[in-house]
Amino acid sequence: MCCFLGAAECSVAPLSFPEAKRILKKHPSPAFDKTFFCLASIDYQTLQLSNCPQSLSKDACALQWDHVVPASRLAQNLPCWMTPQCPWDPKASHRECCQKFSTEFQYREAFLYNLVPVVAELNRIKSNYMPGVVSEKKRTRSLCGLKVDPKQKIFEPPDFRKGWVARIYLKVDAAYDLQLSKQQKVLLEQWDRRYPPDEDEKKHQEYLNKFYELSQNTL
């Protein structure tokens, strides 16, 4: 279903999160026929999921696109996040201000390497936490093998996704300087080595590499 060999809408990298979601939904990666963590089947014609965990309601099983590296981390070194530019609107969040005033944030938020399809409930419990090791004593919730520790604000992916999550973080860090701590970087590099890319990840990387290569040629 690759559209990057001619369709005009996919010839330029998305400049906003809504644009990125439209591309990913209309022209999905061949690796994303299922959600990233729960492996629920995706029908891209209806945008409905099937084979979700039985405990989830219909709303909790909705399709969403998750920033593996959360927006708060993407924007932490941008002026719009450090000093919100919407003082006239006390209800506006840092993210809303950055979306309105920072083209750099909009581009970072649309970075396709950082977006994966997930069920809504998993997106909610993962929140804006950082990857880490969650002990069973501190775990408060788990879903599809993903564990969270809200007190420490960390999540631990299931083993089969640890390497992919790590490589996403390392790629985004190389692009935007996430200011990872030494401990965080060591853990991500360990996961990267221990859990090498599977065939789906390789297909997905090839797909996005081709997209960004072609979009660069159109600039």
Question: pLDDT tens across 146-195, in order?
Answer: 999 999 999 999 999 999 999 999 999 999 999 899 999 999 999 999 99
Tokens of 181: 């701590």
- This prediction has a pTM of 0.89
Lowest mean pLDDT of 23-27, 50-54, 139-143, name the range.
139-143
Comparison of pLDDT for 93 and 194, the residue scoring more: 194
* Averaged pLDDT for residues 197-203: 96
State the pLDDT at residue 216: 60
Our CA dihedral for 191, 195, 196, 202, rounded to 10 degrees, sits at -100
State the pLDDT at residue 206: 92
For the chain, what is the largest distance between any 2 Cα atoms, rounded to a whole number of angstroms? 52
State the pLDDT at residue 88: 66
31's CB contacts (< 8 A; 6+ apart) are 200, 201, 203, 204, 207
pLDDT tens track for 79-92: 888 876 676 676 77
On the question of pLDDT at 51 being above 70, the answer is: yes
